[in-house]
Amino acid sequence: MDGLLIGRFQPFHKGHLEAVHIGLSQVDNLWIGIGSSNKSYEKRNPFTAEERKEMILSSLDPKTLERVKIFFVPDTGDHEKWTYHVDSIVPPYDVVFSNDEFTITLYKKRNKNVIEVPLLRRDTISGTNIREMIASGKDWSDLVPEGTRKVLLKIDAKNRLLKIL
């Protein structure tokens, strides 16, 4: 049995890491779809798809990576067609892991099996909050895996966010 986890991963944080581990405890292989892969250098999507992929690859241990494959999923104008567009990019899957209401609605409409992953420390662990903390100079390092931390420092995420905001 294989699963799909879709997110924007702006950046890939410890909640996403938890979702990957929960997903992998229930399926053989997990396809990770990097959503909005066509977007970067904008407020909700500051990091490029390649940078997000690097965050994920450097945050997962080699054993985990054996069962994970990453795909770029650009947005489309048409919400109703979007899940079919995803299917044209990723291999077949039996279950979708998501906690995003809109994504869940779209998949349930197609009678796809959706598992809602519990949110970890959502008061602080969200892409939105982490981007704000980086921009305002707060200490965000505990909210992301070490691999993501290194990528964010390498690309000078703070400077990028301050230019965009």
Ligand X SMILES: NC(=O)c1ccc[n+]([C@@H]2O[C@H](COP(=O)(O)O)[C@@H](O)[C@H]2O)c1
Q: Using CB distances below 5 to 8 A depending on partner kind, what does residue 147 bind out of ligand X, ligand ATP, none?
A: none
How far apart (Å, rounded) are the C-alpha atoms in residues 47 and 131? 11
Phi, psi of 86 (to 5 degrees): -60, -45
Strand partners, 72: 34
Report strand pairing: 68-73 vs 29-35.
parallel
**Chosen residue from 95, 103, 117, 157 binding ligand X by CB under 6 A:** 103
Residue with smaller CB distance to ligand X, 4 or 153: 4
Stretch 62-101 residues interacting with ligand X (CB under 6 A) = 75-76, 78-79, 82, 100
What is the DSSP-derived secondary structure letter of residue 118?
Answer: P
Q: Using CB distances below 5 to 8 A depending on partner kind, what does residue 117 bind out of ligand ATP, ligand X, none?
A: ligand ATP
Provide the minimum distance between the beta carbon of 88 and ligand X in the complex, in angstroms, as a whole number. 13
